[in-house]
Chains A and B, each alone.
Chain A
Amino acid sequence: MKVDTEFLSALKLGGEFDARLCINCGTCTALCPLGVELMPRRLFRYALLGHREGVLGEAETIFSCLLCRLCEANCPAGIHIAENVRTLRTVVNRDVYGLAEA
């Protein structure tokens, strides 16, 4: 995995992207009703480290999330997981699907 600081800057992960507080306990992965292995902790880690392929290559996974917040309700670090997924959807819309930001 290569850290791409340009991509990282372009992600514009502001203060509201709070996945830095993740302690990687895996509660979210265990609870995910879709059983998506990547979601959300590895995906967020890829984003935080500016791993371009790790984020953009997972466009379908990012959109498969139901935003049910089962993970968020049980996150011991209190991370706003669904909001973080929305942030990444904006990035994918822009960089993969070529949609302008609203």
Chain B
Amino acid sequence: MTGRRLGVVVCQCGGNISDYVDTEKVRSEIAKEGDVVASQVQMFACSDAAQQSVIQEIREKKLDGVVVCSCSPKLHTATFRAMAQRAGLNPYEYTQVNIREQCSWAHTHDRAAATEKALKLARAGVAKTALSVPLERMRVETLPQALVVGAGVAGLRAALALSDLGISVHLIERAAEAGGQVARWGTLFPNDKVGRELVDGLIDEVRRRENVNLYLSTELVEKTGRLGEFAVTLRTRTGDTIGLKVGAIVVATGFDPYSPKEGEFGFGLEGVITLPELKELVAEHPGRLEYHGRPVRSIAYIYCVGSRDGADTPGGHTYCSRYCCSATSHLATVVSGLDPTVHQFHLFRDVRTYGKYETLYERALRGGSVYLRYGEEARPTVTREEGGLVVRVKDRLMRSEEVEMRPDLVVLVTGMVPRENDALVRALKLPIGQDGFFHEVHVKLRPVETVVDGVYIVGAAQGPKNVAESVSSALAAVSKTGGLLLKGYVDLDPLVAKVDPTLCVWCDECTKACPYGAVAPVDYGDRRIAEVNGVLCKGEGACVPVCPKQAISVQGYSNEQIHAMIDALAAEAT
């Protein structure tokens, strides 16, 4: 017992936890711990009502530390720290214990063991909190300048919106021209705006802005520094390097269209093209649709090429690319607008012209398109026989009767795949998701933020999106950037390493262990000791075990706290 007054909340997560962990048992057992003076079970600890009830208990029982046993700290640490602060506690005297991902979700087969593990983790959380000390956040300045990587529709729109906020923008583009994929396409759904015109308008506006600098044929090669003040190095095609200081970075590097493998749905055969190729073909021939000089009288579209692959497909893409159903149905209306006698057959798995784009599907139907549904297990085949393309498909609406057609053109409706961006990924140290796209911190609540503070991901770099969705995410990142940079300062987590000057003998081991270059020597009276730059330090603790004097520790994770947690976890073993 330490004489602390701790409170513990055990969350049921609406059954996510309580279906496999006996939350009431965890509560009643943890209540027996010496320092615990209050405990409660909540159905959703993160709900407003539950937080209000915890705040009331903190005040009434004069608690000086709180433990919430709920989900991953990645999800709700900030939520509950803010709750503790509202109740008048220091936010760093709050501890989150993960009994969902680490207990209920991991041990669905064994309720008793999951409960026991949850209780042990809760005890460790209590032991850690009993030794917690109040910490203050560190305030650092931020520069009102941003780097936007990629001048496609999302990057251009982000640059303009940042400029509107008074933030200076450096907009870089790897290609020799701005505009990205959209610039190559003709009319786009839903309002028939021409892609080239859409981005030209943005580029023209960007060039008018005094506080936007556009760099073409330029790549980002290095990034150092911190949120609010990154030092970035750019390299132009000629090999010149440019050094800049920016407060935040918006990554808008877009996608690559899926490139089918040779032989995939006949790819490689004369007359088998992809959706982007047809879009370019239509854009380039605004009159009658022709392919290699011959008029196109009939088209077969094969949907979901390079999307929605089964999980067992090697190198497959399991996600839906979102834009292709709407884009293809829209393109079909454009084609039938050019020539209503062209026959168009859509071989699809599911039509996902979601939301407002549903009307495109009906427009395509009324324009003469016929949709045939095929099953994943019975994919259409494309061959070339007697000089013509032959497509065979089993029509699900006709009891899988085989339909054979000889279209002039087969269009593979290809999805979006992540871009090859290895150098950029290395420079920014951004995490990549299982699907290969850049990974956001939280899929619902923090969709444009990354684990690298001050670096945002927008548009199709984060996952398949249509133009409107890409622009929405670009503007979301702009508002995050504005919130970060316009205040002029930012408060950082104090969970960083700290040196005890009375113990340190400056042996240099911590400097060598630190991957962030955050430790340097300083004079301390008549001797030298190590000092940690709290802004560069990420608090990951590589310096702690290498110190021979145990002079360095991470605040909020002191050696005493870690020992107490181990003791609590191993209590029953002794």
Contact = CB atoms under 8 A, between A and B. Distances in A.
A20 B365 contact: yes
B345 A3 contact: yes
Contact of A5 (B297, B362, B369, B395): B297
Interface residues of B, number: 22
Given A1-B395, A1-B402, A2-B404, 9 more contacts: A2-B405, A9-B341, A13-B368, A20-B369, A20-B370, A21-B362, A42-B398, A48-B370, A49-B403
A45 B341 contact: no
A3 B397 contact: no
Contacts of A48: 370
A15 B366 contact: yes
B403 A20 contact: no
A70 interface: no
Nearest to B365: A20
A24 B397 contact: yes
A75 to B, nearest CB: 15
Interface in B357-384: 362, 365-366, 368-372
Interface in B398-414: 398, 401-406
Interface residues of A, number: 17
Contacts of B402: 1
A8 interface: yes
B374 to A, nearest CB: 14
Contacts of A45: 395, 397-398
Contacts of B345: 3, 49
B401 A1 contact: yes
Nearest to B408: A5
Interface in B330-363: 341, 343, 345, 362
A15 B340 CA distance: 10
Nearest to A20: B365
Contact of B404 (A1, A20, A24): A1
A20 B401 CA distance: 18
Interface string A27-53: 000000000000000100100111000
Contacts of B558: none
B236 interface: no
Contacts of B370: 20, 48-49
A3 B403 contact: yes
Given A2-B404, A20-B370, A8 B343 contact: yes
A3 B391 CA distance: 10
A50 B341 CA distance: 13
A50 B406 CA distance: 12
Main secondary structure of the interface of B (DSSP, over half): strand
B12 to A, nearest CB: 42
Interface in B13-50: none
Contacts of A15: 366
Of listed B368, B369, B395, residue having the most chain A CB within 10 A: B368
Interface of A: 1-3, 5, 8-9, 13, 15, 18, 20-21, 24, 42, 45, 48-50
Nearest to A8: B343
6 closest cross-chain pairs (CB), A and B? A3-B405, A24-B397, A20-B365, A2-B404, A48-B370, A5-B298
Contacts of B398: 1, 42, 45
Contact of B406 (A3, A21, A49): A3
A20 B366 contact: yes
Nearest to A42: B398
A26 B298 CA distance: 29
A8 B340 CA distance: 13
Interface in B460-519: none
A49 B347 CA distance: 12
Contacts of A49: 345, 370, 372, 395, 403, 405
Interface in B56-89: none
Contacts of B365: 20-21
Contacts of B403: 1-3, 49
A29 to B, nearest CB: 12
Contact of A3 (B341, B368, B404): B404
Contacts of A20: 365-366, 368-371
Contacts of B405: 2-3, 5, 49
Contacts of B297: 5
Contacts of B298: 5
A48 B403 CA distance: 12
B343 A5 contact: yes
A89 B401 CA distance: 25
17 contacts: A1-B401, A1-B402, A1-B403, A2-B405, A3-B345, A3-B403, A5-B297, A5-B405, A5-B406, A13-B368, A20-B370, A24-B397, A45-B398, A48-B370, A49-B345, A49-B405, A50-B343
Contacts of A21: 362, 365-366
A83 B398 CA distance: 22
B235 to A, nearest CB: 54
A13 B366 CA distance: 11
A3 B341 CA distance: 15
A94 B371 CA distance: 28
Nearest to A1: B403
Contacts of A50: 343
Contacts of B401: 1
B303 to A, nearest CB: 17
- Among B297, B366, B370, B371, chain A packs the most CB atoms within 10 A around the CB of B370
